[in-house]
Amino acid sequence: MDDSILMVLTGPASALALAVSLLWGLARYAGKILPGIIDRHMSQIDAIIKRLEQMEAASQENREIYRKMIAGVHSRLNPVENDIKEIKYFLKLEDNKQKTNISDGG
């Protein structure tokens, strides 16, 4: 009879009971610890989302400012473009005159 009790305590049934009790204990421990960890993680994610939303709003404002600045630069450069074309035209004429004077011997 002592052998049968010893076999039950050290056999597969005992290993199964030990495994089930360990898993049950781990599940209870995880049930106490995990909610706190998950709450901290979710609060960090919420903070990250808020910061990203702030960055997006600032980015939208910056894009609008850049658009206005580029429009201002564009409006100032349009008249200058025509002036540059005229200057290039006159420079080409003077360059052509100098070339013809040199080739004429002048």
Q: What is the dihedral of CA 27, 31, 33, 37, to 10 degrees?
A: 120
Separation CA 104–CA 40 (nearest Å): 89
Quote the number of domains for the chain.
1
Contact yes or no for 80/88 (Cβ under 8 A):
no
Express each pLDDT in 3-22 by its tens digit: 777 777 778 888 898 899 99
84 falls within a domain? no
91 falls within a domain? no
pLDDT score at 92: 83
Give pTM, 2 decimals. Answer: 0.47
Domain boundaries, position 57: 2-79
Separation CA 60–CA 83 (nearest Å): 35
Express each pLDDT in 29-59 by its tens digit: 999 999 999 999 999 999 999 999 999 998 9
